[in-house]
Amino acid sequence: MNADPNTLEEVGAMGLGRTLKELREARRLRLQEVSARLKFSVGQLEALENEDWSRLPAGMPLKGMVRNYGRFLEADTDALLVMLESQAPGEQPGLGAEGLRRPAAVRAADMPLHTESVSRPWGWLVIILLFLAVAVFYAIGRGWVPDSWLIFDWLKALKT
């Protein structure tokens, strides 16, 4: 996103629905993918992104939906809940999911569109597998493994 002040003002004026949509699109996710993962219908997600509050539940179920959607998008869920409370009818302003007072001045511009990628520990898995392979071949070479366990002839050849 640009650091242009005009662009930041436009993002700050975005509502909860548009913010969620921007975050989803930044992650290149389709509504069907989000629906399958979160178990919310595509219609519910569309209603949330379009801020059609009449098609959505009120109160805690709506907060739970926003919280789960925000977690899935790796967004600041507290900021999303504050945005929800300032927009959704029937919500108590200033109360978050835990019932604590939160500042109402959180805007969409305060939330990053891009998050750090999650790294997987594949390197450790490879190191452990290599260590186990070396240990097995060492045990075979030392004669610690019974012949009945060696089902391949090339493994029996290592023992001699």
pLDDT of residue 107: 63
**pLDDT at residue 97 greater than cutoff 60:** no
- Strand partners of residue 101: 95
Placement of tokens 């949330």 in the chain: 48
Q: Which of 159, 125, 126 is nearest to 144 (CA)?
A: 159
Indicate the pLDDT class of residue 74, thresholds 50, 70 and 90: confident
CA-based end-to-end distance of the chain: 66
How many whole angstroms separate alpha carbon 134 and alpha carbon 112? Answer: 46
